[in-house]
Amino acid sequence: MIVFHIFGGLFLVIGAIGLFLPVWPTTIFWILAAVCFARSSPEARDWIYGRPGIGPQIEDFVERGTISNAGKVAAVTGISIAAVICTFALWSRTAWLVGTLGVLVCVVVFIVTRRKD
């Protein structure tokens, strides 16, 4: 239980960085925090679920495995921007570029195949 609480807190703090840095992902870290807190601190999990704007989407994903169409569009748009940045940054490192783009494609497929609300 304490391990889940520690990791939940860590993921919550790492995700909070995204509230101040636009390129840093908040949602994925807060999803991980909510999953950890579900096992160690339901109050902390409910606090995440109660955050305006992001909380309901996290709850939908964690509790029901769903992502809204708007959430899918936002996620795929962000991933596409990341893919363009990675392409420019890794252009001379073909293996790194292919690996990175391969991971991003897998993430997009995962997101797109989730049920809708």
- pTM (two decimals): 0.82
pLDDT for position 45? 96
SS3 1: coil
Cα dihedral across residues 61, 66, 69, 75: positive or negative: positive
In what helix (H) or strand (E) does residue 44 lie, and over which residues does it extend? helix 42-49
Residues 6+ apart with CB under 8 A from 44: 8, 9, 12, 33, 37
pLDDT for position 64? 93
pLDDT for position 117? 65
Q: Report whether 79 contacts 104 (CB < 8 A).
A: yes
Bridge partners, residue 55, by sequence: none
Residue positions counted in the chain:
117
Give the residues of the chain that fall short of pLDDT 70: 117
